[in-house]
Structure 1
Amino acid sequence: MSNTLPLAMLIELAQNKTDDATRRLGQLQRAQISAAEKLELLIQYRQEYCDQLQLQMQDGVSSSRWRNFQHFVGTLDDAIEQQRAVAAQADTRLALGRSDWQSNKRRLSSFDTLAERVKQQQAQLANKREQRASDEYAARQFRVRMIAAAE
Protein backbone atom coordinates (compact mmCIF):
# COMPACT_ATOMS: atom_id res chain seq x y z
CA MET A 1 0.00 0.00 0.00
CA SER A 2 2.91 2.37 0.70
CA ASN A 3 3.98 1.81 -2.91
CA THR A 4 0.69 3.01 -4.34
CA LEU A 5 0.59 6.40 -2.59
CA PRO A 6 3.76 7.79 -4.25
CA LEU A 7 2.62 6.24 -7.53
CA ALA A 8 -0.78 7.91 -7.19
CA MET A 9 0.98 11.22 -6.60
CA LEU A 10 3.14 10.70 -9.68
CA ILE A 11 0.06 9.86 -11.74
CA GLU A 12 -1.72 12.97 -10.50
CA LEU A 13 1.29 15.17 -11.29
CA ALA A 14 1.66 13.58 -14.72
CA GLN A 15 -2.06 14.07 -15.36
CA ASN A 16 -1.79 17.75 -14.39
CA LYS A 17 1.21 18.21 -16.67
CA THR A 18 -0.62 16.47 -19.51
CA ASP A 19 -3.67 18.67 -18.96
CA ASP A 20 -1.47 21.79 -19.02
CA ALA A 21 0.27 20.57 -22.18
CA THR A 22 -3.14 19.93 -23.76
CA ARG A 23 -4.27 23.48 -22.98
CA ARG A 24 -1.01 24.91 -24.34
CA LEU A 25 -1.35 22.80 -27.46
CA GLY A 26 -4.86 24.16 -28.02
CA GLN A 27 -3.57 27.72 -27.68
CA LEU A 28 -0.70 27.00 -30.06
CA GLN A 29 -3.09 25.48 -32.59
CA ARG A 30 -5.32 28.55 -32.44
CA ALA A 31 -2.29 30.84 -32.83
CA GLN A 32 -1.04 28.81 -35.80
CA ILE A 33 -4.45 28.88 -37.49
CA SER A 34 -4.74 32.62 -36.89
CA ALA A 35 -1.28 33.30 -38.34
CA ALA A 36 -2.04 31.17 -41.40
CA GLU A 37 -5.38 32.92 -41.92
CA LYS A 38 -3.76 36.37 -41.68
CA LEU A 39 -1.12 35.33 -44.20
CA GLU A 40 -3.77 34.02 -46.58
CA LEU A 41 -5.77 37.22 -46.17
CA LEU A 42 -2.75 39.40 -47.00
CA ILE A 43 -1.94 37.29 -50.08
CA GLN A 44 -5.56 37.42 -51.20
CA TYR A 45 -5.71 41.19 -50.65
CA ARG A 46 -2.52 41.68 -52.70
CA GLN A 47 -3.97 39.58 -55.52
CA GLU A 48 -7.24 41.52 -55.51
CA TYR A 49 -5.34 44.81 -55.55
CA CYS A 50 -3.22 43.64 -58.51
CA ASP A 51 -6.35 42.46 -60.32
CA GLN A 52 -7.97 45.87 -59.83
CA LEU A 53 -4.88 47.61 -61.18
CA GLN A 54 -4.86 45.33 -64.24
CA LEU A 55 -8.42 46.45 -65.00
CA GLN A 56 -7.49 50.10 -64.53
CA MET A 57 -4.42 49.77 -66.73
CA GLN A 58 -6.65 48.97 -69.70
CA ASP A 59 -7.86 52.57 -69.52
CA GLY A 60 -4.40 53.93 -68.75
CA VAL A 61 -2.80 54.79 -65.43
CA SER A 62 -0.90 57.90 -64.51
CA SER A 63 2.73 57.63 -63.47
CA SER A 64 1.93 58.88 -59.95
CA ARG A 65 -0.78 56.24 -59.60
CA TRP A 66 1.69 53.61 -60.87
CA ARG A 67 4.30 54.71 -58.29
CA ASN A 68 1.66 54.63 -55.54
CA PHE A 69 0.69 51.14 -56.65
CA GLN A 70 4.30 49.95 -56.63
CA HIS A 71 4.88 51.47 -53.20
CA PHE A 72 1.68 49.93 -51.82
CA VAL A 73 2.45 46.50 -53.30
CA GLY A 74 5.97 46.74 -51.86
CA THR A 75 4.47 47.48 -48.45
CA LEU A 76 2.09 44.54 -48.85
CA ASP A 77 4.97 42.27 -49.88
CA ASP A 78 6.87 43.31 -46.74
CA ALA A 79 3.80 42.60 -44.61
CA ILE A 80 3.39 39.22 -46.33
CA GLU A 81 7.01 38.29 -45.61
CA GLN A 82 6.66 39.34 -41.99
CA GLN A 83 3.46 37.31 -41.68
CA ARG A 84 5.19 34.32 -43.31
CA ALA A 85 7.83 34.56 -40.57
CA VAL A 86 5.11 34.74 -37.91
CA ALA A 87 3.34 31.74 -39.46
CA ALA A 88 6.61 29.77 -39.59
CA GLN A 89 7.25 30.55 -35.91
CA ALA A 90 3.70 29.47 -35.08
CA ASP A 91 4.28 26.21 -36.99
CA THR A 92 7.50 25.59 -35.05
CA ARG A 93 5.87 26.36 -31.71
CA LEU A 94 2.98 24.06 -32.59
CA ALA A 95 5.37 21.22 -33.47
CA LEU A 96 7.23 21.72 -30.17
CA GLY A 97 3.95 21.89 -28.27
CA ARG A 98 2.75 18.70 -29.94
CA SER A 99 6.02 16.97 -29.03
CA ASP A 100 5.73 18.18 -25.42
CA TRP A 101 2.13 16.96 -25.24
CA GLN A 102 3.09 13.55 -26.64
CA SER A 103 5.94 13.26 -24.16
CA ASN A 104 3.64 14.08 -21.24
CA LYS A 105 1.02 11.67 -22.56
CA ARG A 106 3.60 8.86 -22.82
CA ARG A 107 4.80 9.57 -19.27
CA LEU A 108 1.24 9.44 -17.95
CA SER A 109 0.59 6.23 -19.86
CA SER A 110 3.75 4.70 -18.38
CA PHE A 111 2.63 5.56 -14.86
CA ASP A 112 -0.83 4.17 -15.58
CA THR A 113 0.73 0.96 -16.86
CA LEU A 114 2.93 0.74 -13.78
CA ALA A 115 -0.07 1.33 -11.51
CA GLU A 116 -1.97 -1.43 -13.31
CA ARG A 117 0.95 -3.82 -12.81
CA VAL A 118 1.11 -2.95 -9.11
CA LYS A 119 -2.65 -3.52 -8.87
CA GLN A 120 -2.31 -6.91 -10.59
CA GLN A 121 0.58 -7.90 -8.31
CA GLN A 122 -1.43 -6.93 -5.25
CA ALA A 123 -4.39 -8.93 -6.54
CA GLN A 124 -2.12 -11.96 -7.13
CA LEU A 125 -0.72 -11.65 -3.60
CA ALA A 126 -4.22 -11.40 -2.18
CA ASN A 127 -5.27 -14.46 -4.19
CA LYS A 128 -2.23 -16.40 -2.93
CA ARG A 129 -2.99 -15.41 0.68
CA GLU A 130 -6.61 -16.42 0.23
CA GLN A 131 -5.60 -19.74 -1.35
CA ARG A 132 -3.08 -20.38 1.45
CA ALA A 133 -5.70 -19.61 4.09
CA SER A 134 -8.19 -21.88 2.32
CA ASP A 135 -5.59 -24.67 2.08
CA GLU A 136 -4.70 -24.31 5.77
CA TYR A 137 -8.38 -24.39 6.71
CA ALA A 138 -8.93 -27.50 4.59
CA ALA A 139 -5.85 -29.16 6.12
CA ARG A 140 -7.11 -28.37 9.65
CA GLN A 141 -10.53 -29.75 8.81
CA PHE A 142 -8.87 -32.88 7.41
CA ARG A 143 -6.78 -33.29 10.61
CA VAL A 144 -9.85 -32.80 12.77
CA ARG A 145 -11.73 -35.45 10.81
CA MET A 146 -8.76 -37.81 10.98
CA ILE A 147 -8.45 -37.34 14.74
CA ALA A 148 -12.22 -37.79 15.16
CA ALA A 149 -12.14 -40.91 13.02
CA ALA A 150 -9.21 -42.32 14.97
CA GLU A 151 -10.98 -41.97 18.29
Structure 2
Amino acid sequence: MAGEGRAARLAPVVDMAEKNEKAAAQRLGHFQGQVNLATSKLGDLENFRGEYQAQWVERGSQGVSGQWLRNYQNFLGQLETAVGQQRQSLQWHENNLNKARETWQQAYARVEGLRKLVQRYADEARQLEDKREQKLMDELSQRLPRQEIN
Protein backbone atom coordinates (compact mmCIF):
# COMPACT_ATOMS: atom_id res chain seq x y z
CA MET A 1 0.00 0.00 0.00
CA ALA A 2 2.19 2.74 -1.31
CA GLY A 3 -0.30 5.51 -0.53
CA GLU A 4 -0.43 4.66 3.17
CA GLY A 5 3.36 4.47 3.27
CA ARG A 6 3.67 7.87 1.68
CA ALA A 7 1.10 9.33 4.08
CA ALA A 8 2.90 7.79 7.08
CA ARG A 9 6.26 9.12 5.91
CA LEU A 10 4.76 12.62 5.78
CA ALA A 11 3.50 12.45 9.38
CA PRO A 12 6.67 13.98 10.94
CA VAL A 13 6.64 16.75 8.33
CA VAL A 14 2.98 17.49 9.11
CA ASP A 15 3.73 17.47 12.86
CA MET A 16 6.56 19.97 12.40
CA ALA A 17 4.41 22.19 10.17
CA GLU A 18 1.62 22.09 12.77
CA LYS A 19 4.07 23.09 15.52
CA ASN A 20 5.33 25.98 13.37
CA GLU A 21 1.77 27.08 12.64
CA LYS A 22 0.86 26.94 16.35
CA ALA A 23 3.93 29.00 17.27
CA ALA A 24 3.08 31.52 14.53
CA ALA A 25 -0.49 31.75 15.85
CA GLN A 26 0.84 32.41 19.36
CA ARG A 27 3.12 35.18 18.04
CA LEU A 28 0.15 36.62 16.16
CA GLY A 29 -1.88 36.64 19.38
CA HIS A 30 0.99 38.27 21.27
CA PHE A 31 1.34 41.07 18.73
CA GLN A 32 -2.43 41.56 18.62
CA GLY A 33 -2.29 42.06 22.38
CA GLN A 34 0.54 44.59 21.97
CA VAL A 35 -1.49 46.51 19.37
CA ASN A 36 -4.52 46.50 21.67
CA LEU A 37 -2.42 47.79 24.56
CA ALA A 38 -0.76 50.51 22.46
CA THR A 39 -4.16 51.56 21.08
CA SER A 40 -5.55 51.79 24.60
CA LYS A 41 -2.58 53.88 25.80
CA LEU A 42 -2.93 56.20 22.83
CA GLY A 43 -6.64 56.62 23.56
CA ASP A 44 -5.88 57.38 27.22
CA LEU A 45 -3.29 60.00 26.27
CA GLU A 46 -5.60 61.63 23.73
CA ASN A 47 -8.44 61.71 26.28
CA PHE A 48 -6.15 63.25 28.89
CA ARG A 49 -4.95 65.84 26.38
CA GLY A 50 -8.58 66.69 25.56
CA GLU A 51 -9.41 67.09 29.24
CA TYR A 52 -6.33 69.22 29.79
CA GLN A 53 -7.24 71.45 26.85
CA ALA A 54 -10.76 71.79 28.28
CA GLN A 55 -9.14 73.19 31.44
CA TRP A 56 -7.70 75.96 29.28
CA VAL A 57 -11.15 76.98 28.14
CA GLU A 58 -12.53 76.90 31.69
CA ARG A 59 -9.55 78.52 33.38
CA GLY A 60 -8.83 80.93 30.53
CA SER A 61 -12.28 82.46 30.86
CA GLN A 62 -11.40 83.39 34.46
CA GLY A 63 -8.04 84.89 33.53
CA VAL A 64 -4.64 83.27 34.01
CA SER A 65 -1.17 84.36 35.01
CA GLY A 66 1.77 84.27 32.67
CA GLN A 67 3.35 81.54 34.80
CA TRP A 68 0.21 79.39 34.58
CA LEU A 69 0.11 79.89 30.80
CA ARG A 70 3.79 78.87 30.43
CA ASN A 71 3.25 75.80 32.60
CA TYR A 72 0.16 74.91 30.60
CA GLN A 73 1.95 75.27 27.28
CA ASN A 74 4.98 73.27 28.50
CA PHE A 75 2.82 70.45 29.78
CA LEU A 76 0.67 70.48 26.64
CA GLY A 77 3.86 70.24 24.59
CA GLN A 78 4.96 67.24 26.64
CA LEU A 79 1.55 65.65 26.11
CA GLU A 80 1.81 66.23 22.36
CA THR A 81 5.24 64.59 22.36
CA ALA A 82 3.88 61.62 24.34
CA VAL A 83 0.94 61.26 21.93
CA GLY A 84 3.31 61.36 18.95
CA GLN A 85 5.60 58.76 20.50
CA GLN A 86 2.63 56.53 21.33
CA ARG A 87 1.41 56.80 17.73
CA GLN A 88 4.86 55.67 16.57
CA SER A 89 4.77 52.82 19.07
CA LEU A 90 1.34 51.79 17.83
CA GLN A 91 2.56 51.86 14.22
CA TRP A 92 5.58 49.72 15.15
CA HIS A 93 3.32 47.17 16.89
CA GLU A 94 0.94 47.18 13.93
CA ASN A 95 3.86 46.46 11.57
CA ASN A 96 4.89 43.55 13.80
CA LEU A 97 1.30 42.32 13.82
CA ASN A 98 1.10 42.46 10.03
CA LYS A 99 4.35 40.52 9.69
CA ALA A 100 3.16 37.96 12.24
CA ARG A 101 -0.16 37.62 10.40
CA GLU A 102 1.67 37.02 7.12
CA THR A 103 3.95 34.43 8.74
CA TRP A 104 0.96 32.67 10.31
CA GLN A 105 -0.97 32.66 7.02
CA GLN A 106 1.99 31.05 5.26
CA ALA A 107 2.37 28.47 8.03
CA TYR A 108 -1.36 27.74 7.99
CA ALA A 109 -1.37 27.34 4.20
CA ARG A 110 1.57 24.91 4.45
CA VAL A 111 -0.21 22.80 7.08
CA GLU A 112 -3.40 22.74 5.04
CA GLY A 113 -1.49 21.78 1.89
CA LEU A 114 0.29 18.95 3.69
CA ARG A 115 -2.97 17.72 5.22
CA LYS A 116 -4.59 17.62 1.79
CA LEU A 117 -1.60 15.75 0.38
CA VAL A 118 -1.74 13.19 3.21
CA GLN A 119 -5.48 12.81 2.64
CA ARG A 120 -4.93 12.29 -1.08
CA TYR A 121 -2.32 9.62 -0.38
CA ALA A 122 -4.66 7.91 2.10
CA ASP A 123 -7.53 8.05 -0.41
CA GLU A 124 -5.31 6.58 -3.12
CA ALA A 125 -4.22 3.78 -0.79
CA ARG A 126 -7.85 3.05 0.08
CA GLN A 127 -8.83 2.97 -3.59
CA LEU A 128 -5.96 0.60 -4.37
CA GLU A 129 -7.00 -1.64 -1.49
CA ASP A 130 -10.63 -1.57 -2.65
CA LYS A 131 -9.53 -2.55 -6.17
CA ARG A 132 -7.38 -5.39 -4.77
CA GLU A 133 -10.27 -6.66 -2.70
CA GLN A 134 -12.64 -6.48 -5.66
CA LYS A 135 -10.17 -8.31 -7.87
CA LEU A 136 -9.70 -10.99 -5.21
CA MET A 137 -13.46 -11.38 -4.80
CA ASP A 138 -13.89 -11.65 -8.57
CA GLU A 139 -11.18 -14.32 -8.78
CA LEU A 140 -12.68 -16.26 -5.87
CA SER A 141 -16.16 -16.11 -7.33
CA GLN A 142 -14.84 -17.45 -10.64
CA ARG A 143 -13.12 -20.37 -8.89
CA LEU A 144 -16.06 -21.43 -6.78
CA PRO A 145 -18.41 -23.94 -8.34
CA ARG A 146 -21.63 -22.34 -9.42
CA GLN A 147 -24.80 -23.65 -7.94
CA GLU A 148 -27.85 -23.56 -10.04
CA ILE A 149 -31.01 -22.43 -8.42
CA ASN A 150 -34.04 -24.61 -9.22
Q: Verify the 8 A CA contact 2:34 2:93 in the aligned structure 1.
A: yes
Match of 2:132 among 129, 136, 145: 129
Match of 1:64 among 58, 64, 67: 67
| Aligned match of 2:33 | 30
- Structure 1 residue 5, shift from structure 2 partner: 2.6
- What are the residue-to-residue correspondences of 1:71-110 with 2, within 5 Å? 71-110=74-113
Between the aligned residues of both structures, percent identity stands at: 32
| Aligned match of 1:7 | 10
Please tell me whether Structure 1 or Structure 2 has the larger radius of gyration of its CA atoms. 1
1:83-127, Cα deviation, whole Å (9 max, x unpaired): 000000111111111111111111110011001100100000100
- Structure 1 residue 54, shift from structure 2 partner: 1.2
Whole-angstrom distance in 2 between the partners of 1:81 and 1:6: 54
Relative CO higher for 1 or 2, CA cutoff 8 Å, sep ≥ 6? Answer: 2
| Aligned match of 1:113 | 116
1:47-85, Cα deviation, whole Å (9 max, x unpaired): 100101210011101001100011001111111111000
TM-score (norm 1): 0.91
Whole-angstrom distance in 2 between the partners of 1:123 and 1:5: 14
Alignment length (residue pairs):
144
Letter in 1 for 2:116: T
**What SS does structure 2 have at the residue aligned with 1:3?**
helix
Letter in 2 for 1:129: R
Structure 1 gaps of 5+ residues are 146-151
- Structure 1 residue 4, shift from structure 2 partner: 2.2
Whole-angstrom distance in 2 between the partners of 1:48 and 1:97: 36
Structure 2 gaps of 5+ residues are none
1:17-39, Cα deviation, whole Å (9 max, x unpaired): 11111111111100000001101
**What SS does structure 1 have at the residue aligned with 2:144?**
helix
TM-score (norm 2): 0.92
- Structure 1 residue 43, shift from structure 2 partner: 0.8
Let me know the Cα RMSD of the aligned residues. 1.3
Letter in 1 for 2:57: Q
Whole-angstrom distance in 1 between the partners of 2:25 and 2:93: 16
